[in-house]
Amino acid sequence: MWSCVAFNCTNRCSKKIPGLTFHSFPKDETRRQLWVKAVRRENWEPSKFSKLCSKHFPEEMIDRTSLSCVRLRDNAVPSLFDFPSHLQKVVKLRKLPTRAVFEPAHSKIVQQATTGVE
């Protein structure tokens, strides 16, 4: 029995809501981390049983053309959530500053002494 892992979502497979589908987290680690970040659950990692319902994906990300199954498009990332107001703001992660490369001080002194003195 599946239930959606999204915050404040009560959808379960037993409710039999027409058009509602459940989707496993991607196996590709990069895409999987995008989904985990979108879900915004602190200190949480999805298990192989974790599912998100189709309510959390824009309709254009869902491929309903097959008669046998509903699939998500390859670039689908969940983006529709009912977060409380304090979680509404998207937190962007900062890039770590790149380390500056410093020359040793004595090399500049030696270079100045050899080029500046005639």
pLDDT (tens digit per residue) in 8-27: 899 998 888 898 999 999 99
Strands, DSSP E only, in 45-88? 51-53, 62-63, 71-72
| 93 in any annotated domain | no
Q: Is residue 53 part of a domain?
A: yes
Whether residue 38 is contained in a domain is answered as yes
7 domain-assigned: no
pLDDT digits (tens, 9 = 90+) for 76-99: 999 988 777 666 665 555 555 666
pLDDT tens for 32-49 read 999 999 999 889 999 999
Total structural domains within the chain: 1
Examine residue 116 and state whether it is found in any structural domain, yes or no.
no
CB 35 within 8 A of CB 4: no
Give residue 95's pLDDT.
59
Taking the model in full, what pTM does it have? 0.68
Gap between the Cα atoms of 24 and 52, Å rounded: 7
> Is 108 a domain residue?
no
Task: Please list, residue by residue across 35-60, b when 16 or more beta carbons sit within 10 angstroms of its beta carbon and e when fewer do.
Answer: beebbeeeeeebeeebbbbbbbbeee
Domain residue limits at 27 = 22-85
The answer for residues whose C-beta is within 8 angstroms of residue 11's C-beta and 6 or more apart is 3, 4, 17, 20, 22, 53, 55
At 114 the pLDDT is: 61
Name residue 73's amino acid.
R
